[in-house]
Structure 1
Amino acid sequence: MMFISNGTTLKSFNIVGFPGLHSVYFGPVSVLLLFVFISIVVGNSFTVAVIYLIKSLHKPTYIIFGNLAIVDTVFAIVTLPKIIGRYWWNDSSTLFGMCFTQMYFVHSMGAINSLILLLMALDRFIAVWFPLRYPSVVNNRSISIACFFCWFVTFIRMVGVLLHALTLPYCGIHGNIIPHCYCDHLSITQLGCGKEVKYVKLVSLGIALFGLLLPLSFIIFSYFSVIVAVLRMSQAESRYRVLSTCAPQIFITCLYYVPRCFVYIAHNVGLKIKPDFQVLIVMLYSLVPSILNPLIYCFKTKEIKEALIQRLKSRRVSDKIMYAK
C-alpha cells in the first residue's frame, strides 16, 4: 500500500477535536456542529441552485458567488461529519489514508477560497475603475475559465504537497494524536519521523504563504483602489451603491484572512497559544464565513432578492391558474 512505506507503521490517527473539552459537553458540541453543518450545506446549496436555475443571474459576479458556495459546501462535507462523529459516538479514529485525503481537500478548499476571493476583488476593481471595458473583459466565459483554473491549478499543486508529506515515515514515536478537529498538514507532519520533517514543514509553509499572501496583496490593492474611487465620486448615491456592494465582500475577506494570518504568524514566531483557543480560531475562520456567505451574497443582494420574489410571484400565478382550471 503506497501510504504505508518508508518505515511508516501507523495505521490510523486519533482526532482529538477541542483539546481539554470535558466529556460532559460532547453532546452539546456535536449538536452545535451538526447545526453548523446543516446551515452551511443547505445555505450554500440553495445559493448554487438559485444562481443555476434563474437565468437572469447568469452573470460573472454570480458565477463567482456560486463557486464560493461550492467551496464552502465541499469544505463542510469533508471536515464536519468526522468531528461530529467524534463527539456523538466517541469515534476519534481515522484511517491513515483517509486522514491524508482529508488534509488534501482541506488545504485545497482553503487555497481555492483564497483565489475566488481574489476574483471577487478584481471583479469590483474592474467594474469601478474601467466600467466601459468591464463587459468585454469580465464576462461569463472569462470568469468561468478563471474559476476553472482556480480549481484545476490548486488541485494539481496540492498533489505535490500531499506526496511530499507522504515521503516522511510515520513510525509512531510521536504518537498518532491529531490535536485538531480535522487532519491538516501541520498536525500530520508533526507526527513524522526523521530529519526531513523540518524541511517538509518549511516547503509547505512557503507554499501556504505564497497561496495566502499573494492573493491577499492583490485583494488589498483592489479594495483600496475601489475606496479611493468611491471617495472621488461626486454623487452620494453612487458612493452608497458601490460601498454597499463592496462592504460585505471586504468583511468576509477580513474574516477569512485576519485570523488565518494571525495563526500562521503566531506559530512561526513562537507565540504560545492555548491549544483550545487555537483550534477555536481555526474553526471560526473556517466555518463562520461559510455560514454568512449565503446570507450576504444571496439574501442581501438586491438582484437575487428581486429574482427570487419574481420567481415566487410567477409560481403563485401559475398555481392560481391551475387551481382555477
Structure 2
Amino acid sequence: MSDSNTTDFTNPSTFILLGIPGLEVDYVWISISFCTMYAIAILGNFTILIIVKRDPSLHEPMYYFLGMLAVTDFLLSTSTVPKMLNIFWFSSREIDFSACLTQMYFIHCFSVMESGILVAMALDRYVAICHPLRYSTILTNSVVAKIGLAVVLRSGILVMPNPVLASQWPYCRTNIIPHTYCEHMAVVKVACADIRVSSYYSLSVALLIMAVDVSFISMSYIQILRAIFSLPTKNARLKTFGTCSSHLFVFLTFCIPSLSSILTHRFGQNVPLHFHVLLANVYLLVPPMLNPIIYGVRTKQIRNRLLRFFTCKGT
C-alpha cells in the first residue's frame, strides 16, 4: 500500500479513501451515528414506498413524486454508507479506480435527481392549490411519467462529464483521497494536471441546477402563498400552509448543506478538512433520513395509513 502511494502511475488500479482525517479516534461514535441515520432512512423510505404502492387511494401525482423521492433517497444514501462503514469498522479503505468513478457518478446523479424531484413536488403543490379544478387534467399519469423521465435524463446527462473528465487526468503523485467516498472534487484534486476544466464544469452545473431549481420553487411558492392568503377562513389557510411548509423544509435541508459543501470544497481553504468531510456526509445522509419522517408526520393520508397498519398489527 505504501508503494502505491508514492510510485508514478497514470491510472491507479485503486484509490485509498482515508475516511475523516483527524477524527480517527471518534470513528466508533461517528459510525454509530451514521449507521443509525442510514437505518432510519432505509426503514422510512421503504415504509413510504410500501404505503403508496398498496393503497390505491394514494395513486395520485403527489404520492408518485413522493415515491420517486423515497427511491432516490434510498439510492443516494446506499451509494455511500456501506463503503463508509467499511472504512470505520474494518479499515477497508481501498476502492477500485472504476468503482470510484462509478460511485462518483451515482452520488452526484442522485443528488441532482433529488433536487429535480423537489421541483416536481413544488409544481404539484402549485397546481393543486392554485388550479384545483384542473389538477387531474393537468397532472395526468402520462405527464407525471414524462416529468420523472425528464428528471432522470437531466441528472444523468449533466453529471456524466464529471467521471469522464476525471478518468482522463493522470494521477502520478498519490492515490490517497482524504474523504469517506469518491466525491468529485476530492478525486480530481489528487490528479497531477490542470483540473480547471473539471472544476469549472462541476461548479457551473451545480450553480446552474441550484439557481434553476430554486427559481422554479420560489416562483411556485410565491403563487401558492398568494392563493393561501386569499382563502376565506383561517383554518383553511393554516391547513394549506402546513402542507406546503413541510416541502419547503425538506428542500432547505437538502439545498443548504449541499450548497455549503460545494462552496467549501472550492473556496474554503481555511475550513478544517474534517469539517468539510463531515458536511459532505451530512448532506447525503440527513435529507434521506428526515424526508420520510417529515412526510410521514405532516401528510395526513400517510400518517393515517401508518396508524391503521400498527393498529391492525396490535389487534
Q: What residue in structure 2 maps to residue 291 of structure 1?
A: 289
Aligned amino acid, residue 293 of structure 2: L
Q: Give secondary structure in 1 for the equivalent of 2:193.
A: coil
Shift of 1:70: 0.4
- CA change 1:164–1:147 in 2 (3 A) is same
Q: What residue in structure 1 maps to residue 13 of structure 2?
A: 11
Shift of 1:76: 1.4
Aligned amino acid, residue 75 of structure 1: L
Query: Which of 238, 241, 247 is the equivalent residue of 1:240?
Result: 238
Aligned amino acid, residue 176 of structure 1: N
Q: What residue in structure 1 maps to residue 181 of structure 2?
A: 182
Alpha-carbon distance in structure 1 between the residues aligned to 2:63 and 2:28? 38
Q: Give secondary structure in 1 for the equivalent of 2:160.
A: helix
- CA change 1:224–1:16 in 2 (3 A) is farther
How does 1:248-263 map onto structure 2 within 5 Å? Answer: 248-263=246-261
Alpha-carbon distance in structure 1 between the residues aligned to 2:263 and 2:27? 31
How does 1:67-82 map onto structure 2 within 5 Å? Answer: 67-82=68-83
Aligned amino acid, residue 201 of structure 2: V
Alpha-carbon distance in structure 1 between the residues aligned to 2:30 and 2:261? 23
Identity among equivalent positions (%) equals 30
Q: Aligned pair 1:110/2:111, yes or no?
A: yes
Q: What residue in structure 2 maps to residue 21 of structure 1?
A: 23
- CA change 1:239–1:257 in 2 (3 A) is same
Q: Aligned pair 1:48/2:56, yes or no?
A: no
Q: What residue in structure 1 maps to residue 222 of structure 2?
A: 224
- CA change 1:100–1:217 in 2 (3 A) is same
Alpha-carbon distance in structure 2 between the residues aligned to 1:67 and 1:289? 14
- CA change 1:125–1:268 in 2 (3 A) is same
Q: Is the 8 A contact 1:63 1:144 kept in 2?
A: no
Query: Which of 273, 276, 279 is the equivalent residue of 1:278?
Result: 276
For residues 105-155 of structure 1, the C-alpha deviation after alignment (integer angstroms, 9 at most, x for no partner) is 000000000000100111111222222222211133311221122113322
Q: Give secondary structure in 1 for the equivalent of 2:16.
A: strand
Of residues 130-139 and 157-166 in structure 1, the stretch that sits farther from structure 2 once superposed is 157-166
Q: Give secondary structure in 2 for the equivalent of 1:161.
A: helix
- CA change 1:84–1:9 in 2 (3 A) is same
Alpha-carbon distance in structure 2 between the residues aligned to 1:307 and 1:126? 25
Alpha-carbon distance in structure 1 between the residues aligned to 2:38 and 2:267? 33
Q: Is the 8 A contact 1:266 1:272 kept in 2?
A: no
Alpha-carbon distance in structure 1 between the residues aligned to 2:284 and 2:261? 12
Q: What residue in structure 2 maps to residue 126 of structure 1?
A: 127
Alpha-carbon distance in structure 2 between the residues aligned to 1:269 and 1:20? 21
Alpha-carbon distance in structure 2 between the residues aligned to 1:245 and 1:164? 42
Q: Give secondary structure in 2 for the equivalent of 1:193.
A: coil
Q: Aligned pair 1:166/2:167, yes or no?
A: yes
Q: Give secondary structure in 1 for the equivalent of 2:95.
A: strand
Shift of 1:313: 6.4
Of residues 266-275 and 119-128 in structure 1, the stretch that sits farther from structure 2 once superposed is 266-275
Alpha-carbon distance in structure 2 between the residues aligned to 1:270 and 1:89? 31
TM-score by length of 1: 0.88
Shift of 1:206: 1.2
Query: Which of 198, 202, 207 is the equivalent residue of 2:200?
Result: 202
Shift of 1:29: 2.3
Q: Is the 8 A contact 2:265 2:276 kept in 1?
A: no
- Structure 2, unmatched stretches of 5+, are 1-8
Alpha-carbon distance in structure 1 between the residues aligned to 2:35 and 2:310? 30
Q: Is the 8 A contact 2:37 2:289 kept in 1?
A: yes
Alpha-carbon distance in structure 1 between the residues aligned to 2:297 and 2:51? 11
- Structure 1, unmatched stretches of 5+, are 1-6, 320-325
Q: What residue in structure 1 maps to residue 213 of structure 2?
A: 215
Size of the aligned set, in residue pairs, is 307
Q: What residue in structure 2 maps to residue 192 of structure 1?
A: 191
Alpha-carbon distance in structure 2 between the residues aligned to 1:168 and 1:230? 53
Shift of 1:270: 5.0
